[in-house]
């Protein structure tokens, strides 16, 4: 290659966002095709029992319930994911997105039945099939909240017991979750994703070390 070519960086790249957006579009197109064949649910929708179509634990993270769902998640991914992607590696970002999204989706299936029949909020927690990247996107939001420069700076000056931090994270996750509350919304997945993001941000699991040897905060 000539001297004018630039080597591709493995750190601080926003390319995972573009890759995920492309994957969203590809998967959505596959959903449309497989829906005509009656296979969309089998291939992309996570539903109980989890052992029947276990691959949907992965594929459901990148699938969406319609064009509006796809667009809203894509916008949220750009807003919350871009700063995180620029502060970590492509591999870590994709692994974080998939793992948190899968755990959030599985938690929605496993735990939603516990709230069925409760007054007022029972309709919000009905056991329904799950698809979409919302759990992973809420994890990115949680990571931003816990790992931004302001949060890191405050935590370096104020010593907070771990149990207090966990209680604060739980309360914050509940508040953010119910801010999105509506029948049909995967609230448990939102709660789980956001809480996972907060814990991961506090631990700074996505941070890479700079050439000077110091960790770079997400934003």
Q: Do the domain assignments include residue 87?
A: yes
What would you report as the CA-atom Rg of the chain, rounded to the nearest whole angstrom? 19
Q: Do the domain assignments include residue 219?
A: no
Q: Do the domain assignments include residue 216?
A: no
Q: Do the domain assignments include residue 214?
A: no
Domain total for the chain?
Answer: 1
Q: Residue 1 — pLDDT band, cuts 50, 70, 90?
A: very low
Share of the chain above pLDDT 90, in %: 46
Q: Residue 188 — pLDDT band, cuts 50, 70, 90?
A: confident
pLDDT for residue 167? 61
Q: Do the domain assignments include residue 123?
A: yes
pLDDT for residue 128? 77
Residue pair 215/209 in contact (Cβ under 8 Å)? The answer is yes
Number of residues that this document lists for the chain? 219
Q: Do the domain assignments include residue 9?
A: no
* CATH code for the domain of 41: 1.20.1540.10
Distance CA 216, CA 92 (A): 14
Give whichever of 78-82, 147-151, 186-190 has the largest mean pLDDT: 78-82
pLDDT in tens, 59-70: 999 999 999 999
For 130, phi and psi rounded to 5 degrees? -125, 140
Q: Do the domain assignments include residue 208?
A: no
Q: Do the domain assignments include residue 88?
A: yes
Distance CA 41, CA 34 (A): 9
Q: Which residue did the predictor score with more confidence, 148 or 82?
A: 82
Strands (E), 15-138: none
Distances (CA, A) of 41 to 162, 167, 191: 42, 38, 24
pLDDT in tens, 96-128: 999 999 999 999 988 876 766 554 455 556 667
Q: Exposure of 213 by Cβ count < 10 A (0-12 exposed, 13-18 middle, 19+ buried)?
A: exposed
- What is the span of the domain harbouring residue 116? 15-203
Share of the chain above pLDDT 70, in %: 64
pLDDT for residue 129? 83
155 C-beta neighbours (distance < 10 Å), count: 14
């Amino acid at each position: 290659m000539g001297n004018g070519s630039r080597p591709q960086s493995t750190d601080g790249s926003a390319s995972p966002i573009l890759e995920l957006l492309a994957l969203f579009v590809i998967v959505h197109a596959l959903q449309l095709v497989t829906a005509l064949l009656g296979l969309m649910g089998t291939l992309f929708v996570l539903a109980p029992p989890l052992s029947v179509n276990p691959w949907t634990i992965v594929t459901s993270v990148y699938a969406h319930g319609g064009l509006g769902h796809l667009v809203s998640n894509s916008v949220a991914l750009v807003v919350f994911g871009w700063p995180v992607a620029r502060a970590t590696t492509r591999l870590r970002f994709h692994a974080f997105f998939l793992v948190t999204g899968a755990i959030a989706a599985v938690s929605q299936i496993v735990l939603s039945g516990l709230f069925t029949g409760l007054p007022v909020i029972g309709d919000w927690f009905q056991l329904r099939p799950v698809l979409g990247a919302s759990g992973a996107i809420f994890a990115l939001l949680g990571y931003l909240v816990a790992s931004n420069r302001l949060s890191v700076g405050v935590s370096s000056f104020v010593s907070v017991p771990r149990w207090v931090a966990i209680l604060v994270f739980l309360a914050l996750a509940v508040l953010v979750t119910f801010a999105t509350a509506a029948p049909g919304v995967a609230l448990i997945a939102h709660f789980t994703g956001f809480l996972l993001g907060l814990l991961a941000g506090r631990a700074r699991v996505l941070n890479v070390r700079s050439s000077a040897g110091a960790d770079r905060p997400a934003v």
